[in-house]
């Protein structure tokens, strides 16, 4: 089974749902169903075909499964939040959002060791965390995960999905808090669209874009510096660039294409234009 292609198709479907739904609750319901369907498909494949190697199993539970699973948790949290969100009273709305944010902060503190393991890109415990061989040897760390499917879960793949989804949900809540405080957004669909942009390519690709925007002088008539542009894109796309000066130095030292990402962007657009004219 081509897992990567199916994940790509899911993200495309979720994007279609985004623009065809009437409100965030309807969008969440449809998105949850789409994610569950794909996870059911993955489970059948895993149970029947298994994995050829430990590395393949780790890749699946640490990365492949995370795409539909993280989306499932994210939209489930949004649906639950919006259903219970106070309909009137800005003070009550702010109180409700802050309570949710506080709960998420406690969740991250409780799991800080695992958060550090993931964010520092460590791999030495991947076999214990992301294969089913150690399913009965690692304690469950969240009350929501009392029951796990031993054929389709590892000790920490559910926790990883919860962490990834919670990071996105925090952004959603922070904008919801801004909404309740300043009445800045017109409706919940507009709010959700604002928080949905997530950079899913590489740091190098985004760095290319930052420098291209800066040197083309298309932002604020060329008056914005690289740091301002980089910080803004990091905020919009919920993505950390890290040391982009060093990344740009690596880009300059390439022997083949120094603007690979920008070249790919141009090629993709030209291909779409040509295909649409047929």
* Average pLDDT of the segment spanning 205-222: 90
| Segments of the chain assigned E as strands | none
Three-state secondary-structure class, residue 24:
helix
Measured distance between the N- and C-terminal CA atoms of the chain, rounded to whole angstroms: 32
Question: Is the CB of residue 149 less than 8 Å from the CB of residue 79?
Answer: no
Dist. CA 99–CA 22, nearest whole Å: 27
pLDDT per position as a tens digit, 67-119:
999 999 999 999 999 999 988 778 888 899 999 999 999 999 999 999 999 99
- The residues, any chain, with a CB within 8 Å of residue 21's CB and separated by 6 or more, are 27, 30, 189
3-state secondary structure of 248: helix
237-253 per-position pLDDT tens digit: 878 888 888 899 889 88
């Amino acid at each position: 089974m081509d897992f990567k292609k199916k994940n790509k198709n899911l993200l495309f479907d979720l994007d279609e749902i985004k623009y065809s739904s009437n409100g965030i609750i309807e969008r969440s319901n449809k998105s949850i169903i789409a994610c569950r369907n794909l996870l059911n498909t993955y489970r059948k494949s895993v149970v029947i075909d298994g994995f050829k190697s430990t590395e393949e199993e780790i890749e699946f539970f640490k990365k492949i499964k995370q795409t539909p699973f993280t989306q499932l948790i994210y939209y489930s949290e949004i649906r639950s939040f919006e259903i219970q969100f106070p309909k009137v009273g800005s003070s009550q709305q702010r109180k409700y959002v802050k309570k949710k944010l506080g709960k998420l902060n406690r969740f991250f503190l409780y799991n800080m060791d695992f958060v550090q393991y993931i964010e520092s890109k460590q791999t030495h415990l991947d076999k214990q965390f992301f294969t089913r061989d150690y399913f009965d040897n690692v304690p469950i760390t969240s009350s929501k995960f009392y029951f796990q499917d031993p054929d389709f879960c590892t000790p920490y793949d559910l926790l990883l999905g919860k962490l990834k989804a919670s990071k996105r949900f925090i952004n959603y809540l922070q904008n919801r808090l801004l909404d309740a405080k300043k009445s800045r957004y017109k409706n919940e669909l507009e709010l959700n669209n604002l928080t949905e942009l997530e950079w899913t390519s590489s740091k190098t690709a985004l760095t290319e874009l930052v420098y291209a925007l800066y040197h083309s002088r298309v932002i604020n008539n060329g008056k914005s510096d690289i740091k301002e542009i980089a910080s803004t894109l990091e905020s919009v796309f919920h993505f950390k660039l890290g040391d982009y000066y060093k990344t740009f130095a690596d880009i300059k030292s390439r022997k083949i294409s120094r603007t690979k990402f920008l070249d790919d962007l141009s090629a993709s657009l030209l291909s779409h234009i040509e295909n649409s004219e047929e």
